[in-house]
A and B are shown apart, each in its own frame.
Chain A
Amino acid sequence: MSTHPILELRGVSKRFGAVQALYQVDFKVHPGEVMALVGDNGAGKSTLIKCVAGIYPIDAGEVLFDGNPVQVHGPKDAAALGIEVVYQDLALADNLDVVQNMFLGREQLGSLRRLDEVSMERRAKETLDSLSVTTIRSVRQTVAGLSGGQRQSVAVAKAVMWNSKVVILDEPTAALGVAQTRQVLDLVKRLGQQGLAVVLVSHNLHDIFEVADSITVLRLGQSIAEHRTAEVTQTQVVESITAGKLSKVPGLAEEVVA
């Protein structure tokens, strides 16, 4: 593992109206590291991810990529840096087919700026094959006709297709069967071994202990602790999730932001 983090958040805050979704969160992940992000429902995991991806602007704090402060104003910026995200709600367009979804926003063009359907279809197939996704019968069927697990496979395939440096997966196994979950966990491990930084959001501590190198715990929008997986037990992690000490008083947060 290299010495400096590829992605680092320092003191990031985000507020939605009356809800302080994130408060002075510190977070970092190194190349080749699988970092689990855990916390109860509403702890702010998805919000943190969307801030990194440029979906939500942050209110305060800074984001560093490869040691340099960066401004991520939108998904294009994040993708340009090499950050790929599988969102919890998957963000697929139901009326488009598998190939069209996988290349959405990054379509390959042939002559005359025409969509190069043939090479897109081939690459989509190769990617799905490499992930051992065998249940999707045709990559030309619309996503609406896929099962929850199949949709998730498409979303994961869409994220790993671009030689990215950081892959963020928000509950990628939530809808998956046993075999598919196995595939995704193996994939997460493989991505880490290939030197990518992987951020994995999950509620399943068993899975996390199997694949993650480190665990960051969020509680009520604050980063509580960062554990090395090898050095903690599941019980200790559960304790941080449910009763971790809030170092910053939420009441103060309002004054700081206001």
Chain B
Amino acid sequence: MSTQVPPVEASPAAPSTVAPAGDSVGDAARRWWAGIRAGDLGILPIIIGLLVIVVVFQSQNDRFLTSGNFVNLIVQLAATAVIAMGVVFVLLLGEIDLSVGYVAGVAGVATALMLLPDGSNELSAGPAIVIAIAIGASIGLLHGLLITKLGIPSFVVTLAGLLGWNGVVLLLIGTRGTVTIQNDTIIGVANDFLSDGIAWLVLLLGIALYAGVLLSGRRARAKAALPAEPIALLVLRVAALAAIGAAVVAVANDDRGVPYVFLLLTGLFILWTYVLNRTTFGRHVYAVGGNAEAARRAGINVDRVKIACFMIASSMAALGGIVLASRLRSVDTNAGSGSILLYSIAAAVIGGTSLFGGRGNIRSAILGAMVIMSIDNGLGLLGLSSGTKFVVTGLVLLAAVAVDSISRRGRENAGRA
């Protein structure tokens, strides 16, 4: 009958995820290896994937690994990564948002129209951005209310959104055909660069901040006599960030410099990672995605969490739409169409956020966007058509989901499901 007794047999205890006090980097490495063998792959598949991409494209066209193309790549992946960050929230719930492409389109077009110099109601960049994001948030609110209060599956609501917001884009553009953007601030988002010195300064501040956060966290745990990471591992983490950051800044400075969108991406990454990992709301997002009924019984307002996630997804889509419009310096009837929707969702999934809810992080949006856009960029350099791009990206997506499914099976076998 309704008896739901958990299985009695004990599954083999999973290796602990937190280091016991006083352990060494060697122990940490062994734990990491054990995790991988148990199907907890982390970012390993992505790193390998990126390496393969680099080797393949560089061998075909030696323009791939140039500083100029590196800077191009950052600018190209920005919009996808921004939108994908919002998609992560929806995927964490175990839901989907198919409307993010055209929501980005609506926001991009709205921004361009608000900035039209001939209009009597011309706005400056700041208010225009705020209003465009607010439009995105309202769209997300509408989606969220339909999904939670009427109980319509998110797939259907956002599929209707995909059509509906595409229509709104066409209506907004009207007979104009193309609206060019002349506002320097908006154009600058994707087309301006930090000066060399400022870029190094920002990097130094970032490293100091990261080290400070790690150290204070470690000290708090030590003070409470809880197991903490070995200090050597902490040093290793900071060193890794410093090395990667220095490489990015050095290579970018060799060309036009670090694009402002890179700062935007970093800021959004820190913001949303903080929200997901350090706030009650973030905890509740994971709980709802993992077991909605348990969340409800813990007194969590499940509907409110879901609505908030759809609002974040649409707001980030709106911001991504502004970034895209900035890069293209104009919007037209194609705003938000084409690959942008599928690339954004695929980015989050390729980066390691599960389609089944409860598992994933913001990092996955950026890593996945890196993979997808380097393929897009590399195939573009080889002069291959969109057709080839889509086929290859589709195969990569399939591979990523296959890795997810296989590693899930590994986790289940190891009792880590």
Contacts and interface: CB of A to CB of B under 8 A. Distances in A.
Interface of A: 41-42, 46, 53, 55, 74-76, 79, 85, 87-97, 100-101, 104-107, 109, 113-115, 118-119, 121-122, 137-138, 140-142, 144-152, 171, 174-175
Contacts of A150: 10
Given A145-B414, A152-B6, 10 more contacts: A75-B299, A90-B6, A91-B297, A115-B279, A121-B224, A141-B16, A142-B416, A144-B416, A148-B6, A175-B7
B410 to A, nearest CB: 13
Interface stretch (B126-134, B194-202, B284-292): B284-292
Contacts of B221: 118
A97 B14 CA distance: 12
Contact of B293 (A91, A122, A145): A91
Contacts of A152: 6
A222 B221 CA distance: 52
A76 B415 CA distance: 32
Q: Which of B221, B289, B297, B358 has the most CB of A within 10 A?
A: B297
Nearest to B354: A95
B280 interface: yes
Contacts of A119: 224
B294 A92 contact: yes
A184 to B, nearest CB: 14
Q: Which 3 A-B pairs have the closest CB atoms?
A: A138-B16, A105-B298, A145-B14
Contact of B16 (A106, A140, A146, A148): A140
B278 to A, nearest CB: 5
Interface residues of B, number: 47
Nearest to B219: A118
A144 B417 contact: yes
Contacts of B11: 145-147
Contacts of A147: 7-11
Contact of B298 (A91, A114, A171): A91
27 contacts: A79-B299, A88-B4, A91-B293, A91-B297, A91-B298, A94-B291, A96-B286, A101-B294, A105-B298, A105-B300, A106-B298, A115-B283, A122-B226, A138-B17, A140-B16, A141-B16, A141-B17, A142-B416, A145-B414, A147-B8, A147-B11, A148-B8, A171-B3, A174-B3, A174-B5, A175-B6, A175-B7
Contacts of B287: 93, 96, 100, 104
Nearest to B417: A144
A94 B290 contact: yes
A114 B8 CA distance: 37
B304 interface: no
Contact of B5 (A140, A142, A145, A148): A148
A158 B289 CA distance: 20
Contacts, number: 143
B13 interface: yes
Majority DSSP secondary structure for residues of B touching A: loop
A46 B221 CA distance: 40
Contacts of B358: 93-95
Contacts of B220: 118
B226 A75 contact: no
Given A118-B220, A118-B226, A140 B290 contact: no
A41 B224 CA distance: 46
Contact of B290 (A53, A87, A93): A93
Given A138-B16, A145-B11, A96 B290 contact: yes
A85 B294 CA distance: 12
Contact of A94 (B296, B297, B417): B417
Contacts of A42: 1-2
B359 interface: yes
Interface in B364-417: 411, 414-417
Contacts of A76: 299
Nearest to B38: A145
Contacts of A137: 13, 16
A94 B94 CA distance: 14
B224 to A, nearest CB: 5
Q: Which of B289, B291, B293 has the most CB of A within 10 A?
A: B291
Interface string B32-60: 00000000000000000000000000000
Contacts of B291: 91-95
A38 B344 CA distance: 54
A188 B195 CA distance: 68
Contacts of A175: 5-8
Contact of B7 (A53, A140, A148): A148
Nearest to B277: A115
Contacts of A97: 17
A79 B296 CA distance: 13
Contact of A75 (B4, B16, B296): B296
Nearest to A74: B299
